Amino acid sequence: MIVRISNLQLQSPDKKAGAFFLTTGNEKMKIKLAIPKGKLQEEILKLLAEVGLTLQSNERNYRPLCSDPQFEIKLLKSQNIPKLVELGQHDIGFCGLDWIAEQKADVEILKPLGFDPVKIVACIPDNWDYDELKKRKIIVATEYKTLSEKFLSSNGFNYKLIRSYGATEVFPPEDADMIIDNTSTGTTIVANHLKIVDTLYESSTQFIANKNFFKNQEKMTIINDVLVLIDGVLNGRKMVLLEMNATESNIGEIVDLLPAMRSPTVSQLYNSSGFSVKAAVMRNQVKSLIPQLLKAGATDILETAIRKAI
């Protein structure tokens, strides 16, 4: 739950980091934030930078400095983050929903972000019969022990599970009869002559917190402020600002075409009978909308990216 923004102050910008510091006046308080190293790292760092939290690090540094000194950052494998957040080793973190389920981690989801959507799928060699595997004992390779055991048992398989540590798709057919792995596009599966026979789970990136974190009102105030800004960034990524000119004769038709967060902004042009029209519209509508606006008589159309929409 997001509460009203309060007690948020902006200090002078740090000239080196080029970002503002968020502060509540308690410089000794630290919010421990875990960020997944690897595939998700770039997307999350980009999001944090747009919020106003920039990190300074090098490739070998697992403890980057944050432009807001109240945040203590650590880079970890995504698989390790849910349990460490549950245990209170970190206050908040980013990880996949699949690893929360796999580890049965008792954490609070602050915000589903939707980054890196994947499916956890069962795969076998592309020329094998799926039903035949239920008639004998099989070897299954996976990184997802909990999810796999639940799926295999509920589907009546007689199986031996072996833990893989990456490159799971290389196991069949010599070393495993089936794999259970995550995939986003399925291209790696096809490239290794496998086929998907079932989907166990769907996952994407979550922003999570330790459940005791909510007892600290000072920390929650800061994170609620950050959540408001994250929402603004994610909303802004979906939208653009369209600006255009219209005449008195076509202003009505142009305004009727424009979807907007509330209603388009219309102002009269200086020393003219024409109008300037502004509207925030969904990015995916622009391709069809601009030709309609031109047909209706709009001129001087500008499309501008929106950094935040709150």
Q: What is the pLDDT of residues 213-240, one digit of tens each?
A: 989 999 999 999 999 999 999 999 999 9
The tokens describing 57, both together, are 């690090």
Helical segments of 89-143, H only:
97-102
Which residues, 6 or more positions from 47, have their beta carbon under 8 angstroms from its beta carbon? 113, 230, 233
Quote the pLDDT of residue 28.
66
At 21, the pLDDT band (50, 70, 90 cuts) reads: very low
Q: How far apart are CA 76 and CA 282, in angstroms?
A: 35
Q: How far apart are CA 43 and CA 116, in angstroms?
A: 9
The tokens describing 134, both together, are 């239920």
Q: How many helices and strands, by DSSP H and E, does the chain display?
A: 8, 18
Least confident of 9-23, 92-106, 198-212: 9-23
Based on C-alpha coordinates, what's the Rg of the chain?
25
Least confident of 17-31, 194-208, 227-241, 287-301: 17-31
At 172, the pLDDT band (50, 70, 90 cuts) reads: very high
Quote the pLDDT of residue 61.
81
Do residues 142 and 161 lie in contact, with contact meaning Cβ atoms separated by under 8 Å?
yes
Main-chain dihedrals φ then ψ at residue 305, nearest 5 degrees: -70, 150
Q: In the chain, what are the domains?
A: 9-116+205-236 (3.40.190.10), 118-203 (3.40.190.10), 239-305 (3.30.70.120)
At 57, the pLDDT band (50, 70, 90 cuts) reads: confident
Using the predicted structure, report yes or no on whether residue 67 has a pLDDT greater than 50: yes
Quote the pLDDT of residue 22.
46
* Angle made by CA atoms 241, 302, 287, in degrees to the nearest 5: 75
At 74, the pLDDT band (50, 70, 90 cuts) reads: very high
pTM score over 0.85: no
- Provide mean pLDDT across the span 247-256: 94
Using the predicted structure, report yes or no on whether residue 60 has a pLDDT greater than 90: no
How large a percentage of the chain has pLDDT more than 90? 82
The tokens describing 103, both together, are 């580890």
Do residues 105 and 83 lie in contact, with contact meaning Cβ atoms separated by under 8 Å?
yes
Instruction: Give the end-to-end CA distance of the chain in Å, rounded to a whole number.
Output: 16
Specify the DSSP element, H or E, that contains 197: strand 194-203
In 3D space, the residue among 155, 164, 151, 159 whose CA is nearest the CA of residue 177 turns out to be 159
How large a percentage of the chain has pLDDT more than 70? 90
- Provide mean pLDDT across the span 121-130: 96
